[in-house]
Amino acid sequence: PRTYVITGAASGIGRTTARILIDRGERVIGVDLQGTDVSGDLSTPEGRAAAAEEAGRLVDGAVDAVIACAGLSIPQPITASVNFFGMTEFLEALQPALTRSEAPRVALVSSMASMQPVVPALVDALLAGDEGVAGEIATRMADDPRTANVIYPSSKRAISRWVRREAPTARWAGAGIPLNAVAPGTVVTPMTEDLLASDDGRAMTDAYVPMPLNSHQGPESIAHLLIWLTSVENTHCAGQTIYCDGGADAVLRGDDV
């Protein structure tokens, strides 16, 4: 069996991915705030470091794949910290353990929302690795109703850009580690439960994310893609954000490929 570390494994996409892999006989170490093998808070540098250290200990210093799913969509500064640094710093901390695998792989969950308007200053601060400045910008954004909901798309734009920048480098491609992201449309999980419960919420969501193919998706639609990206079969897909979104990206981005 292969050994996987999965963040956000207590719920939604992470949980479904973990369950499919376990059913196939793979070994999964789940990381989340609670209810998984490793309890940790990925919103702080100390929490990430401690969670990565504990996960590394449980896999005896060698891991075949890390799948970063943990995320938040609330219009608060913590969303930027968890969605960006909770993925990137956690992955960087486990990179040495990945180099001890014969077929190491990494996948992250970005979002269709990465295509929506962003605040470039927040995206830049995240990519610069400056959590203090990012926090200040996100705090100002959260205080303004016109920008509070832009924290989430900005965090996901930064993730897709980070994957693009990092994937070809010595740390990842140079170490034989394919690094990619997936971008879901509207997935039916606890994250979207409240939004999809009302007619208004559904209408607003569908206006932002038109899904001509099969409408809203179950978490397994994303799980299967994450599993392929982190499988031995993926030898040459790197630096991509793969949209698995019922055709939403094709509708919204159109010819701009």
Burial class, 214, CB count within 10 angstroms (exposed 0-12 / middle 13-18 / buried 19+): exposed
Q: Quick one: 46 or 102, whose CB is closer to ligand NAD?
A: 46
Q: Cα angle at 175 between 171 and 176, to 5 degrees? A: 130
How far, in Å, are 80, 142, 165, 199 from residue 75 at the CA level?
A: 9, 6, 26, 21
Q: Which of 13, 151, 177, 179 binds ligand NAD (CB under 6 A)?
A: 13
Q: How far apart are the first and last CA of the chain?
A: 38
| CA–CA separation, 110 and 68 (whole Å) | 9
Name the region of 176 (left: φ>0; alpha: ψ -120 to 50; beta: rest). Answer: left
Asked if residue 11 binds ligand NAD (CB under 6 A), the reply is yes
Under the binding rule (CB under 6 A), the answer on residue 77 touching ligand NAD is: no
Q: How many residues bind ligand NAD (CB under 6 A)?
A: 27
Rounded to an integer, what is the distance from CA 120 to the centroid of its chain? 19
- CB-CB contact of 7 with 87 (8 Å): yes
Q: Closest distance between ligand NAD and the C-beta of residue 255, in Å?
A: 24
Using CB under 6 A as the binding rule, the residues of this chain from 186 to 245 that contact ligand NAD are: 186-187, 189-192
Of 80 and 167, which CB lies nearer to ligand NAD in the complex structure? 80
| Closer residue to ligand NAD (CB): 73 or 180 | 73
80 binds ligand NAD (CB under 6 A): no
Identify the residue among 18, 28, 38, 42 touching ligand NAD (CB under 6 A): 42
Question: Catalytic positions, please?
Answer: 152
* 69 touches ligand NAD (CB under 6 A): yes
Q: How far apart are CA 241 and CA 103, in angstroms?
A: 20
The span of 37-45, 97-105, 121-129, 138-146 binding ligand NAD (CB under 6 A) equals 37-45
**Would you count residue 55 as binding ligand NAD (CB under 6 A)?**
no
Binding positions for ligand NAD, 139-178, rule CB under 6 A: none
CA dist 171 to 17, 63, 143, 239, Å? 25, 15, 38, 13
Query: Least distance to ligand NAD from the beta carbon of 179, Å?
Result: 16
Residues 6+ apart with CB under 8 A from 18: 4, 6, 9, 28, 30
Q: Which position among 4, 18, 32, 134 is part of the footprint of ligand NAD (CB under 6 A)?
A: 32
Q: Closest separation between CB of residue 174 and ligand NAD, Å? A: 27
Residues near ligand NAD (CB under 6 A):
8, 10-14, 32-33, 41-43, 69-73, 82, 109, 111-112, 184, 186-187, 189-192
